Structure 1
Amino acid sequence: MRISTVTMYEQGVSAMNRQQADFTQVGQQIASWKSVVNPSDDPRAASRAVGVSQSLAVNEQQESSRTSARNSLSQEESVLNSVSDAIGSAKSLVVQAGNGTLSDADRESLASDLEGAYETLIGLGNTTDGNGTYLFSGYQDNAKAFSRTDGGDGVDTISYEGDQGVKKQKIDAERSMNTSDTGSDVFMKFSSGSEYIAEAGEDNTGNMTFSGPDVVDPQADRYGEAFTINFSVDGDDITYEAYDDDGNTVDVPYEEGKSITSNGVRLTLEGKPEDGDSLTVTPGGDMNEQQASLFKTIGDTINALRQPVETDADQAALDNTLSTASRKLDASLDNVLTTRASVGARMNELDALDDVGGNREIAYEQTRSDLVDLDYNSAISDYMLSQVGLQASQKSFADIQQMSLFQYLN
């Protein structure tokens, strides 16, 4: 069989092209440190590598979200720590104000100190982050959480202007986390299960004071319900309304210094009430925002301290205000500490998810490496073999070119 010169040339060039392609491919692999440079090199591995890369990108995004959430929670935790300190300072001043030897001037000085704590708390309630976003305004990022209205002769009235929206951030595939708390929940709420709090009626005129309330019978039929004790005075006869075992209101003779028990809660009363005086006893967790407002508690105390004490009734009103304020400040502090504990728990969860995300990233990286990364030693060996094969095909082509009878006819 005869083989034409064109055929030999074509076969030689084809062989050199194949060797050149193999040599170039191995060179690209070595240069990129990848065994799959183009999807055509290994379609299955390339496809799986794309999926793994997407999973890595999602994992990185979730890591970024956790960092953002941690920054928000860290700032809130710092503010809550300052709020706790301010409440502690206010409680100390309230206890100090209960000293019966203080003069009006002394109480005015304490009121000024308490007003400093009051202003500090307002400032903390309106804290912003580095972007000018208010921490405690809910979704109302650009609005102050708390506004103030001129209180006339007293301290300003503070109102919550944010909403009840709680910001959330997706921090893992199946987990979204609250990254903030509303100002109403932090500054105007008591935790469920808070102690009972007693408040004297605003129109009381007697010199009666109270201590407590203390829980004595949590199994009582009406335990956990708010109630009001109303006093009636007819000459020397003083009675008050209370609930009997059947839940009916009955008139009970009042004896100074003797405890009063109703709904499983006991109060000890001193002094004498006037007709129409009252006491309201409410579980802390049932109090509305107005009753539980930290700002109102301190504001009412400041106003009370600035009132001159001239009669026994004035002293009783002050003592009752301080007693109520002390209970409310304790309940406010418990609520802030509960919120702070929640923030800490969320930050701990972020740390745990970071560990999980880090392990997941390592696994993804290893999977992608197994699919597309290069075995460098094997690649060098293939590179040398390809180079030898290319050189051999070039030498063969050159030798074949010399295989012609015309060279021997000279």
Structure 2
Amino acid sequence: MRVSTGMIFDSGVNSIQQRTTSLLRTQQQISSGRRMLTPSDDPVAAARALEVTQSKEINAQYVTAQGNAKSSLGIMDGQLSSTSDLLVRIRELTVQAGNAALSPADRKSIAAELRARFDEIVALANSTDGAGQYLFSGYQGNNKPFAGNVDDGVGYIGDDGQRTLRVSGSRALPVSQSGNDVFMRIKNGNGVFVTGLPGERSTNATQLRVEGYNITNATPPDTGTLELRFWTDTGDVLGGGANAVYYDLVDGAGNSLYTGTPSTTGAGGSYTNPYTSGTPISLSSVVPLFDFGAEVVLTGTPQTGDTFTLVASAGSLSATATSLAASGARATIDAGTVSDPVKWTSEGNSGNLEVRFWVDVAGAVGGAGTEGATYYDLVDGDSGKSLFTGNASATGGGGSYTHAYTSGAAINFNSLAAAYNPPSNDFGASVKVTGIPASGDSFTVRSGSDPLGNGYFVTAPKMTSVDNMGSGIIGTGEVLDQTKWNSPNNSRQLEVRFWKDPTDISTNAPTYYDLVDTVTERSLFTDTTSTSGGLGNTYTHTFKSGDPVVFSGLAAPYDDFGITATIQGTPASGDVFSIRDSTTESVFGTLSNLIQGLEATVGATGSTGNASLHNILGFALTNLARVADNILRVRADIGTRLSEADDLGAVSDNLNLQFESTLSGLQDLDYAKSITDLARMQTELQAAQQSFIKISGLSLFNYL
């Protein structure tokens, strides 16, 4: 084979270039520390390295998210820790407020500090995570969750969600909290039921019922019919106290059986016998001719003008209500209707209206023959002015009660004074009241879209607060068996009511109590209508301060409700304590009730004032303990999440080491082998270069 000079040169050059390329590649590998300089060096390893690198980068993102989550959770825990510290101070102030040695000025100062603490808790509840996101607003991180004050209450504007951060491939860690869960929805009382003072009650007349009779003369004389009439001494003319109720027995001629003269109210009149619900009214020994030989027992609250017709027959007596809704509610109101929404929302309508009633016993409005007629007035609850006259609402002749009432007829909010809705004098609405209202009965008509209403306003009996007069203080209560408390026979709207026998004037006269289902007004001891004194008396259990009031051994079907409540002090006759299912109450509501209650009792004196104060403080301390427990629960949950973030951080660190180890195995260079290869390649290159020089210098002429 002939080898040309060109072939020799080409072969030498190619050999040198190949060795140079290999040398340079090895030098690059050594300088970079990488075995693969391009994917083509090892396609399988390169693909695997790409996957591992992506996983490592995702893991790095999780590590960043874990750090952010720990930061947010740490801030949240710190703010709740500050809240717990504030609650400790608030509880100290609450306990201090109960010190009997404090002056009204001292308690006023405590209330002022509590107001400042209230604002601090609102500020803590509106904390952010440092990036402008609110911690306690649920999903709505950009919305300030809480707004309000002590007097108007605090509202929550967030939701029930929790914002999350993805901190691992399978875990999204919550980094916010619902303000409802932390500050708003806190079980009050002992978590099962809550004890309390009597709440608001209707100011309207209550039902008056005949409970029974005691017959002592089986053959009474033929006396015809009598009337049992009632009168309320609103002005305390007889000295028995404002609004004391008296009764008279009247014959067919209109004469009082007690005086033999025409029946009249007021000073010097014939209504001189005080009425007590449940106490028998004797029909004997009044006037011998009219001796029925009997007693009648009524319960409830009579109003001026209430009348019962009494008829005797051999061995029996009947009493029929003739001037009130017999055995039914006195008066009820419907939901009302709006015929013109534009008029209802007019500027002249305050949205806080009342329908008030008055019984014209003397016929001052309609004159002779209208005695006992009922009239109504429409009143602006904000100003107290009559919508009919524009002046202050007033009864009597010349007053604003000029519209005759008819049960079931529409009461229209029109023909009003120009001052309220110029120029139409019409609110475009009406309500219907049925039954027999008593003087002073009132129904509220208030604007609102509550589902209980008609979409424009809500009607209801006017309510007023009721205060205990004794020194009784009720505790939190104890749950012995929650299953029994949840019995279907338990309405969970119960009251402990107290009564003293007015006929027992001894120094140590006992106080009795009854346990009452307020839904049915039935005694749990007897399953009959709760009645104090007289026939059917249900106040049969003697009260002793400090002894548990046990809700067991009750009449069927109640039997046993599995709870007890302890009351200290001396309740007065008529005092009431409520026992209801636990509901949720916000920390702001608890503090607001405490502050306002403390401010309201600053001037209270005597055992009644002290009892009211201690009940308020006791309820507040109980609920504050529940708030503190709830904060601890949330903090424990946050601590769990912080611990989880730490654990996930450790896992991420281990994963990162594994990824680096895998990448090292796929990409890193074997320095010992590469350096040896580099030395060999340098020698080979030098040899190739020297050989090329010598071979390229050879010629046939060298051998001639």
TM-score, L = length of structure 2: 0.53
Instruction: Count matched residues.
Output: 399
What is the CA distance between 1:58 and its match in structure 2? 1.1
Q: Residue 8 and residue 273 in structure 1: after superposition, are their counterparts in 2 closer, same or farther (change >3 A)?
A: farther
What is the CA distance between 1:250 and its match in structure 2? 7.9
Q: Residue 474 of structure 2 aligns with which residue? A: 211
What is the CA distance between 1:232 and its match in structure 2? 5.6
Bigger strand fraction: 2
- The 2-side partners of 1:99 and 1:189 are apart by 31
What is the CA distance between 1:313 and its match in structure 2? 3.9
Q: Residue 229 of structure 1 aligns with which residue? A: 494
- The 1-side partners of 2:644 and 2:564 are apart by 42
1:366 equivalent among 640, 661, 686: 661
What is the CA distance between 1:348 and its match in structure 2? 0.9
- The 1-side partners of 2:491 and 2:43 are apart by 73
Q: Residue 570 of structure 2 aligns with which residue? A: 271
What is the CA distance between 1:244 and its match in structure 2? 9.4
Deviates more, 1:191-200 or 1:26-35: 191-200
Deviates more, 1:104-113 or 1:366-375: 104-113
1:166 aligns with 2:162: yes
Q: Residue 354 of structure 1 aligns with which residue? A: 649
Task: Give the structure with higher Rg (CA).
Answer: 2
Deviates more, 1:207-216 or 1:366-375: 207-216
2:475 partner SS: strand
Residues 197 and 327 in structure 1, CA contact (< 8 A), matched pair in contact too: no
Residues 197 and 467 in structure 2, CA contact (< 8 A), matched pair in contact too: no
2:476 partner SS: strand
2:481 partner SS: coil
Residues 154 and 588 in structure 2, CA contact (< 8 A), matched pair in contact too: yes
1:297 equivalent among 583, 590, 601: 590
Bigger helix fraction: 1
Deviations 1:221-267 (A, max 9, x none): 22598823235677737533159999x79855354324323332211
Q: Residue 24 of structure 1 aligns with which residue? A: 24
- The 2-side partners of 1:276 and 1:124 are apart by 40
What 5-or-longer segments of structure 1 have no aligned partner?
none
Residues 91 and 329 in structure 1, CA contact (< 8 A), matched pair in contact too: yes
Deviates more, 1:140-149 or 1:187-196: 187-196
What is the CA distance between 1:373 and its match in structure 2? 0.5
- The 1-side partners of 2:491 and 2:162 are apart by 30
Q: Which amino acid aligns with 2:196?
A: E
- The 1-side partners of 2:42 and 2:110 are apart by 80
Deviations 1:281-336 (A, max 9, x none): 334xxx23xxx211111111111111221454443332221111111000000000
Q: Residue 136 of structure 1 aligns with which residue? A: 136
- The 2-side partners of 1:355 and 1:50 are apart by 24
Q: Which amino acid aligns with 2:649?
A: D
Q: Which amino acid aligns with 1:352?
A: D
Deviates more, 1:370-379 or 1:204-213: 204-213
1:239 equivalent among 514, 531, 538: 514
Residues 163 and 175 in structure 2, CA contact (< 8 A), matched pair in contact too: yes
Residues 205 and 274 in structure 1, CA contact (< 8 A), matched pair in contact too: no
- The 2-side partners of 1:10 and 1:85 are apart by 90
Q: Residue 54 of structure 1 aligns with which residue? A: 54
1:170 partner SS: strand
Q: Residue 205 and residue 110 in structure 1: after superposition, are their counterparts in 2 closer, same or farther (change >3 A)?
A: same
- The 1-side partners of 2:563 and 2:500 are apart by 28
What is the CA distance between 1:42 and its match in structure 2? 1.2
Residues 197 and 328 in structure 1, CA contact (< 8 A), matched pair in contact too: no
2:677 equivalent among 375, 382, 388: 382
1:213 partner SS: coil
Q: Residue 580 of structure 2 aligns with which residue? A: 281
Q: Residue 382 and residue 115 in structure 1: after superposition, are their counterparts in 2 closer, same or farther (change >3 A)?
A: same
1:187-202 equivalent positions in 2, closer than 5 A: 187-190=183-186, 194=191, 196-202=193-199
What 5-or-longer segments of structure 2 have no aligned partner?
200-464, 502-511, 531-537, 552-560
Q: Which amino acid aligns with 2:571?
A: K
1:184 aligns with 2:447: no
Q: Residue 74 and residue 271 in structure 1: after superposition, are their counterparts in 2 closer, same or farther (change >3 A)?
A: same
1:207 partner SS: coil
Q: Residue 261 of structure 1 aligns with which residue? A: 550
- The 2-side partners of 1:135 and 1:334 are apart by 20
Identity level (%): 32
Q: Residue 124 of structure 1 aligns with which residue? A: 124
Deviates more, 1:337-346 or 1:258-267: 258-267
Q: Residue 165 and residue 120 in structure 1: after superposition, are their counterparts in 2 closer, same or farther (change >3 A)?
A: same
Deviates more, 1:190-199 or 1:206-215: 190-199
Deviates more, 1:194-203 or 1:70-79: 194-203
What is the CA distance between 1:279 and its match in structure 2? 0.8
Q: Which amino acid aligns with 1:107?
A: R
- The 2-side partners of 1:194 and 1:322 are apart by 18
- The 1-side partners of 2:524 and 2:165 are apart by 51
- The 1-side partners of 2:589 and 2:702 are apart by 115
Q: Which amino acid aligns with 1:214?
A: G
What is the CA distance between 1:165 and its match in structure 2? 1.8
Residues 204 and 276 in structure 1, CA contact (< 8 A), matched pair in contact too: no
Moved over 6 A (4+): 243-246
1:400 equivalent among 695, 699, 702: 695
1:132 partner SS: coil
1:330 equivalent among 619, 625, 629: 625
Deviations 1:4-26 (A, max 9, x none): 22222222222112111110110
What is the CA distance between 1:368 and its match in structure 2? 0.7
TM-score, L = length of structure 1: 0.89
Q: Which amino acid aligns with 1:144?
A: K
Q: Residue 44 of structure 1 aligns with which residue? A: 44
- The 1-side partners of 2:28 and 2:127 are apart by 56
Q: Residue 352 and residue 18 in structure 1: after superposition, are their counterparts in 2 closer, same or farther (change >3 A)?
A: same
